[in-house]
Structure 1
Amino acid sequence: MKTVSFDLTGRTALVTGGGGGLGLAMARGLAEHGARALLVGRDHAKLDAAVAVLEADGLLAEALPCDLLDRSASDAMVVEVESRYGIDILVNNAGVQHRQPVLDVADDDWERVIDTNLNAPFRLARAVGRGMIARGRGKIINTLSVLSTLGRATAVPYASAKGGLLMLTRGLAVELAPSGIQVNGIAPGYILTEMNTALSQNAQFSDWLTSRTPARRWGRPEELAGAAVFLAAPASDFVTGHVLAVDGGITAAV
């Protein structure tokens, strides 16, 4: 009997927010298993630095500078990559946070969070999905959050967007499954990333979090790599519409 495969050799993975944090960690995991990792983001220098780090380790990586809120630029990027490689794996990871009491949230801030965390993944999935349907296979992985299902004061825009992304994940999974495409989500808990610097440096919050999390610690970006590899690989070909929590047990505890 053939061993379940985690081999991604010959596959191309488009990873948004790939210049650092969770995106770079997942891109590294995919590249270490043979994929070509295409890192998408707005910061050219940050992307180039990330690619240099991966290439120094003998991994296949490429920078794709793009503002995902620019619809024409995003569509053009997908067309270019499809023509060069074809996109086998899409990791919708780029995201922004906005922490503020909800009654003080301005329309522009609400719309920026929704557009980045929900609208951009929808548009990319729609654009990439066409090529995947034509090939009869594909993997879409959306970075969700524990706030996809849990509320938290001062994080209403983010939680709303991530909750919407959860349902986008499930809806896409159902609609695209007959075409051989699997769509799943990874829901990180509190991870030591640049986005969470203010929280991790707040001793009171950090003490509360580590006491609330059964693992009794913050997560590390590299701890999402295994989940990404599994959901991108043939090993998960019968897994779709699933949300894999990487949260130290916080959503399992009362």
Structure 2
Amino acid sequence: MLLENKTAVIYGGGGSIGGAMARGFAAEGARVFLAGRTPGTLDTVAADIRRQGGLAETAIVDALDESAVNGWVDSIAAQTGSIDVSVNAISQNALFVPLLDMPVADFGHAMDKVARSFLLTAQAAARHMVKQGSGVILHFGGANPANSSPGLGTVQIGCDLVEAIRRQWACELGPHSVRVVSMRTGGIPDSLPDIPETAGHKQKMVDATLLKRAATLDDVGRVAAFLASEHARTITSTQVNISCGALVD
């Protein structure tokens, strides 16, 4: 197995993307620790992993609370002996408002959430990864300048901010054999609710690809597990494109 005896922490582990990564890690032998603010969704993912024979634990953790994040990660490291993979998959709660009309306070709050959560979660993991001389910090939703268009509000800006943080972390942590990577997508149709209102949007995601099929949540989990494994030991400080050609490099 790719991640046998590894420990993975996933913030937003009850969401569609975080849950997909957790399932992918567990399927490859990792012990996964899921954090979030909604017990029900966390428990659903954990139960699914356990039914498949995997190991999963949950905790209510606010990714914006420094003491809560550090305390949770430190307790996991004390319990398992290492922090091998850290993923921040919490929702940005993006504002789809033109910048011209964006209230300054709302913009600041949105950017603060992105900056604080990605800094705090990476710091908590990096402290342990530097000591052990290994580890992977994985981001989802890498920036794509070609996607900038009116009406996206804080979406693209938030992604750009995450990528700037990723580049700096990769530079600082590289000498300690810690890798930092982003996964970049043109959209995951099955991450959206299966309701009539989303059908057209899902089809647009597929139509925009070169392969005429979009990545699935299973694809997200499998690629994430590969990137977190030693098979990807040469990959850091970059985006991995899983858009099926919707985003052309």
Aligned to 1:229: 225
| Ranges of 4+ aligned residues in structure 1 off by more than 6 Å | none
Is structure 2 residue 89 aligned with structure 1 residue 90?
A: no
1:95 counterpart letter in structure 2:
S
1:167 counterpart letter in structure 2:
A
Is structure 2 residue 56 aligned with structure 1 residue 64?
A: no
**Aligned with residue 38 of structure 2, among 20, 38, 43:** 43
1:7 is displaced (CA, Å) by 2.0
Pairs within 5 Å for 1:1-254: 7-85=2-80, 86-96=82-92, 97-147=94-144, 150-192=147-189, 196-197=192-193, 201=197, 205-206=201-202, 208-252=204-248
C-alpha change, 1:49 and 1:10, in structure 2 (3 Å) is same
Structure 1 unaligned blocks of 5 or more:
1-5
C-alpha change, 1:231 and 1:21, in structure 2 (3 Å) is same
Kindly indicate whether the alpha-carbon contact (under 8 Å) linking 2:87 and 2:139 is maintained by their aligned counterparts in 1.
Answer: yes
SS at match of 1:244: strand
1:25 counterpart letter in structure 2:
A
1:208 is displaced (CA, Å) by 4.3
Kindly indicate whether the alpha-carbon contact (under 8 Å) linking 1:18 and 1:24 is maintained by their aligned counterparts in 2.
Answer: yes
1:59 is displaced (CA, Å) by 0.6
The two structures have a TM-score, normalised by structure 1, of 0.87
C-alpha change, 1:232 and 1:207, in structure 2 (3 Å) is closer
1:14 counterpart letter in structure 2:
V
1:186-212, CA deviations, whole angstroms, 9 ceiling, x for partnerless residues?
112211255x55998356655544333
Kindly indicate whether the alpha-carbon contact (under 8 Å) linking 2:143 and 2:160 is maintained by their aligned counterparts in 1.
Answer: no
C-alpha change, 1:234 and 1:208, in structure 2 (3 Å) is closer
1:46 is displaced (CA, Å) by 1.2
Aligned residues: 247
Structure 2 unaligned blocks of 5 or more:
none
User: 140-149 or 10-19: which moved more?
Assistant: 140-149
The two structures have a TM-score, normalised by structure 2, of 0.89
Question: In percent, how many aligned pairs have the same letter?
Answer: 27
1:9 counterpart letter in structure 2:
E
C-alpha change, 1:202 and 1:47, in structure 2 (3 Å) is closer
